[in-house]
Amino acid sequence: MHEDQRRFLDDLLATASPSGFETPAQRVWVEYVEPFADEVHTDEYGNAVAVYDGGDGPEFAFTGHADEIGYMVAAISSEGYLHLTPVGGSDKSVSKARHVHVHTDGGPVNGVVGQAAIHVRGKEDTEYDDIETMTVDIGAEDEADARDLVTVGDPVTIAQTPHPLQGSLLSARGLDNRVGVWVAAEALRRAAERGAESTVYAVSTVQEEVGLSGAKMVGYDLDPDAAVAVDVTHASDHPEFPSDKHNEVGLGDGPVIARGAGNHGALVDAVRDAASTDGIDVQYQATGIRTGTDADAFYTTRSGIPSLNLGLPNRYMHTPAEVVDLDDLDRAADLLAALAAREAGRESFAVEF
């Protein structure tokens, strides 16, 4: 990963974007893609699309989602503490005793999610509190003081900065799914560098974590010949992964091609062929019911868009300490660029009988 590409990823990670509040991160994404895209546009809800016009080949949408999980201010107590409600699949087991930012119209306000000291908690106190019962302490003297700073509905994110580990591993909050929008942007850039004779839409969607909403909008609008939703997937190569769950996904072993419901067989084969031709290591994952990603929205849009979920291995998903291997991101971007180049002569991904 080159220096400017890493800076782009770091800028994305530094920009909070809980579902429904993605605009600041979308600005970062648009600024990065504008120099090498033929066109960039956004829609009414903030989905961002960059276009590479490669000619008469098929139209590919390579997508990631810009939003992250988080919280919102649900109420302000008479003592000046903030009550929370979750945004997306926030994990109550890792939410207490955290530094947080409350993102207000006047800028971020620092706070902490309260946690009683171990000395005063009862020995039987082993259950995790629901997020709706947690409070944020911003240091306000009272309700009036708090309301001068914060408004009900302000989004809240954990204040966790990127934390490089050994080798090419990186830990951060919100890798789900900054890494996906990074890959989408880089895939477009690399397809353009290869002179791929296909049209590529790099897409950064909104509100995936709360119902795949942005993908439903942009999929209907673009109606591409094929869509690849790039998102994190669970790596099982660590001792915290449950022994009764079965997958073979590991960090550093390449992007993960999902197979099963929603993943179009012809598109799966095309991606596998592109990986083989370009010597790119890939992994496989069974998704027999649903992928849980924007691919589930794309493949049921209009009369059905041939779709695929391309996974990026991730440890400790939906925690502030997610971990990915940056080499997997590079391989994923190369793979999608190879797909756009290799399949330029294809007329359709329709099932043949």
Q: How much of the chain is in helix, strand and coil states, percent to nearest 5?
A: 30, 25, 45
Rounded CA Rg of the chain? 21
3-state secondary structure of 207: coil
Cross-strand pairs, 202:
50, 62
Going from the first residue of the chain to its last (353 residues), give the mean pLDDT of each consecutive group of 10, the final group possibly shorter. 95 97 98 98 98 95 98 98 97 96 97 91 81 97 98 97 97 97 98 97 98 97 97 96 93 97 95 98 94 96 96 97 98 98 94 84
Distances in whole angstroms, Cα of residue 228 to Cα of each of 80, 200, 264, 311, 318: 46, 11, 10, 10, 22
- What residue spans of the chain are helical by DSSP H? 3-13, 23-33, 143-149, 175-194, 213-222, 265-278, 295-298, 326-342
Q: Helix 175-194 and helix 23-33: axis angle, to 10°?
A: 20
Q: List the catalytic residue out of 68, 208, 322, 343.
A: 208
pLDDT of residue 288: 86
Instruction: For 193, list phi and psi in degrees, rounded to 5.
Output: -60, -35
> In the block, which residue shows the tokens 């099982």?
236
- Distance, CA of 324 to CA of 314 (rounded, Å): 5
Q: pTM for this structure? A: 0.96
The answer to whether residues 291 and 258 touch, using CB atoms and an 8 Å cutoff, is: yes
The answer to whether residues 340 and 318 touch, using CB atoms and an 8 Å cutoff, is: no
208 is catalytic: yes
pLDDT of residue 121: 81
Interacting residues of 114 by C-beta distance below 8 A, sequence separation 6+:
81, 96, 97, 134, 135, 136, 137
User: Does 209 show up as a binding residue in the annotation?
Assistant: yes
- CATH class of the region 70-158: mainly beta
**CA 73 to centroid of chain Cα atoms:** 23
Tokens representing residue 243 in the block: 């022994």
What is 3-68+173-342's CATH number? Answer: 3.40.630.10
Distances in whole angstroms, Cα of residue 74 to Cα of each of 132, 151, 152, 163: 8, 9, 6, 30
pLDDT of residue 155: 98
Segments making up each domain of the chain, as ranges = 3-68+173-342, 70-158
User: Does 318 show up as a binding residue in the annotation?
Assistant: yes
CA end-to-end span of the chain: 43
Nearest by Cα to 284 from 253, 307, 261, 326: 253
